[in-house]
Structure 1
């Protein structure tokens, strides 16, 4: 992986991706079953109108933070956890790196689970017996192998997947509206406090903050709008679809929702693709994060370790705690992002 495998600054003329590639990375990251799942937690907890407002506001807040970190990563040319050395000191950055390392392993486990469930659904439709644990292992190995390929080889996958995933989003949106018969903006029980709903939305883009500079440092142009736009569009829409379908169909499991629509194998295969384009970011950034603590650690060895641990945890991960897992992440990294952004853009 040459220069992009370490924590030293990468000269602009040596960077392997452009702004379109970066936009595709974050667009693909936002089209994820995780967003679908999180959106289903909003409605009927709040009304559909409140959910839409919360989704838009939450993503504006979270994506603006992502964009600012992207600028810093582009200018300095180092990973996010290395950037924390300035405001926190070297030892302080080790604490941030440890928390980030742990949460990225957790996200790897989550995405292995949802990807495996999608695969399992595909094969069940085809008449094969269900075996989710087998598919957790298979997709865990696939995600790890793709991460090992490195940034230069990711480009064609990200560009291809962005087009396919855009088609899926349009397909799901049209099918959702046709199936549910329109928009009832007042639909929802209103049992979830709006501020808690907002926190649940902000937590998703905020959870990406410790990864943002890992990829903007690879870009030959400033990454604010590529990062902001790519993730804002896809994640917001998937949040909405998740909440909307749950309110009308009463299904909080995105795999069950897609199966209920009868979208078939093609939709499931694209969901699997989106899971891969999301999870390899978690694995790669976890490995880069570890190198902030131990710079001499071989990147590929860490990729294998993270992929293995994430796969093992996925076999026993309690999906019922998903909502609180998101809130925990938001509570940990919002203050860190505030410190980084304030230090770089105001103090410096």
Structure 2
């Protein structure tokens, strides 16, 4: 099979377009090279969410080097998984949720699609809130104007996604890099005392949080890499670009906390405390709009798996308006636990997908509207999700606390220590991947052997 083009009955022959096709039935053109892909994913990895999340990877009362090692280990594991999920997008030329038809079947792929719609709207809202909060903190002004500005700009980018990706890859990433380098220089010039407060109970729990960030892009990756010329460029660009940004930004957050902001683990406040830090944070706020854009655009792409003839521009405009209104009126913090629950759904699915795509004969990867359901792989995915919850139940407070309590009781029944310190992501990935090999592997390997002979 060609590394750059394929036709499984989803994209129909037709004239090339200068941007993303409007519907699922129109052809996709690979116009992004390795440099574009590196820049795009590096820019997507430059996110204020990462230094904010750094407070949860800090290992209190342990050498700073241990926390930094956890960041590197988690980033390498997560970014390799991201690259393995991104490469098929360039080869198959279809969005991420359509790509899942090959592992789950046409009808079963609707389940992760609906979940991805929920999480993309949630994360788009969360990103707009983060942008507005950071800007208002840096300038000492009300939040709502920045909510409106971020929503309008992100939605506009989603209407011309390939053009937006090229601008992000070629220009925005360098502006963001300059701001990051400046913040690193200023933070490293300050004494770095030990951190006595932290959110990670163990080394592998810290690794787990870092893994979650790159893997969270698994259900979105192919939406962008289907515009990349080759699978090799898609893998390298996404893994290296996002992995390097993940290490840099988590590290920046940890160092800023050590240097300036241990009280309350307020990372944004710590960065603003740097001389000229407010200006640098504002630069990163502007660049952060790409995260909101990506979630708005991917919501439209996911919806096309269910309604293939829907115009992505109409879908993106509707999602952008919804996310902006939610950012103005909704307490997104109350939605955060649900977003992490959906993340726990996609971690084992990433493992099943990678095993199935690289194990099954490529000509059996069916992404058409008649793709058959694969019950064995569905079972492997479900088992991985159960393993995740038994390792570290998704935490809910208030009305949803019953979910956490039920899984904690199951841990007790099985003799699993709730404070086990394991990485739920790695346990989930291992269970799902091994089961996928055991349940689907023998037939797949036999088919590959017959083809080679």
The TM-score with structure 1 as length reference comes to 0.89
Which of 232, 250, 257 is the aligned partner of 1:239? 250
Bigger radius of gyration: 2
Answer yes or no: is 1:86 the counterpart of 2:102.
yes
**Structure 2 residues not aligned, in runs of 5+:** 1-17, 362-453
Corresponding residue for residue 225 of structure 2: 216
Secondary structure of the 2:265 match is: coil
Deviates more, 1:192-201 or 1:70-79: 192-201
Which of 47, 50, 62 is the aligned partner of 2:66? 50
Secondary structure of the 2:227 match is: coil
On the 8 A contact 2:55/2:199 being kept in 1, the answer is no
Structure 1 69/46 Cα, relative in aligned 2: closer, same or farther at 3 Å?
farther
CA distance, structure 2, for counterparts of residue 326 and residue 46 of structure 1: 30
CA distance, structure 2, for counterparts of residue 320 and residue 112 of structure 1: 15
CA distance, structure 1, for counterparts of residue 251 and residue 19 of structure 2: 40
On the 8 A contact 1:188/1:247 being kept in 2, the answer is no
On the 8 A contact 2:256/2:270 being kept in 1, the answer is yes
Corresponding residue for residue 40 of structure 1: 55
User: Displacement of 1:264 after TM fit?
Assistant: 4.5
On the 8 A contact 1:24/1:158 being kept in 2, the answer is yes
Structure 1 247/153 Cα, relative in aligned 2: closer, same or farther at 3 Å?
closer
Deviates more, 1:226-235 or 1:156-165: 156-165
Secondary structure of the 2:220 match is: helix
Secondary structure of the 1:38 match is: helix
Secondary structure of the 2:219 match is: helix
CA distance, structure 1, for counterparts of residue 98 and residue 31 of structure 2: 20
CA distance, structure 2, for counterparts of residue 276 and residue 220 of structure 1: 25
Which of 308, 320, 328 is the aligned partner of 1:295? 308
Measured on the aligned residues, the alpha-carbon RMSD in Å equals 2.3
Structure 1 92/110 Cα, relative in aligned 2: closer, same or farther at 3 Å?
same
Secondary structure of the 1:328 match is: helix
**Structure 1 residues not aligned, in runs of 5+:** 125-129
Structure with higher RCO (Cα < 8 A, 6+ apart): 1
Corresponding residue for residue 284 of structure 2: 271
Answer yes or no: is 1:134 the counterpart of 2:148.
no
Structure 1 284/321 Cα, relative in aligned 2: closer, same or farther at 3 Å?
closer
On the 8 A contact 1:66/1:208 being kept in 2, the answer is yes
On the 8 A contact 1:65/1:206 being kept in 2, the answer is yes
The equivalences for 1:1-348 within 5 A come to 4-8=21-25, 10=27, 14-45=29-60, 47=62, 48-124=64-140, 130-179=141-190, 181-182=191-192, 192-222=201-231, 223-248=234-259, 249-250=261-262, 252-315=265-328, 316-319=330-333, 322=336, 324=337, 327-348=340-361
Cα deviation digits, residues 300-336 of structure 1 (max 9, x gap): 11111211221222232344775x4664243111111
On the 8 A contact 2:20/2:162 being kept in 1, the answer is no
User: Displacement of 1:76 after TM fit?
Assistant: 0.8
CA distance, structure 2, for counterparts of residue 53 and residue 327 of structure 1: 24
CA distance, structure 1, for counterparts of residue 215 and residue 72 of structure 2: 14
CA distance, structure 1, for counterparts of residue 338 and residue 183 of structure 2: 27
User: Displacement of 1:286 after TM fit?
Assistant: 1.0
On the 8 A contact 1:45/1:189 being kept in 2, the answer is yes
- Compare the two structures and name the one with the higher helix fraction: 1
CA distance, structure 1, for counterparts of residue 248 and residue 212 of structure 2: 16
User: Displacement of 1:120 after TM fit?
Assistant: 1.8
CA distance, structure 2, for counterparts of residue 91 and residue 300 of structure 1: 25
CA distance, structure 1, for counterparts of residue 66 and residue 339 of structure 2: 20
Secondary structure of the 2:282 match is: helix
CA distance, structure 2, for counterparts of residue 346 and residue 3 of structure 1: 30
On the 8 A contact 2:57/2:207 being kept in 1, the answer is no
On the 8 A contact 1:115/1:272 being kept in 2, the answer is yes
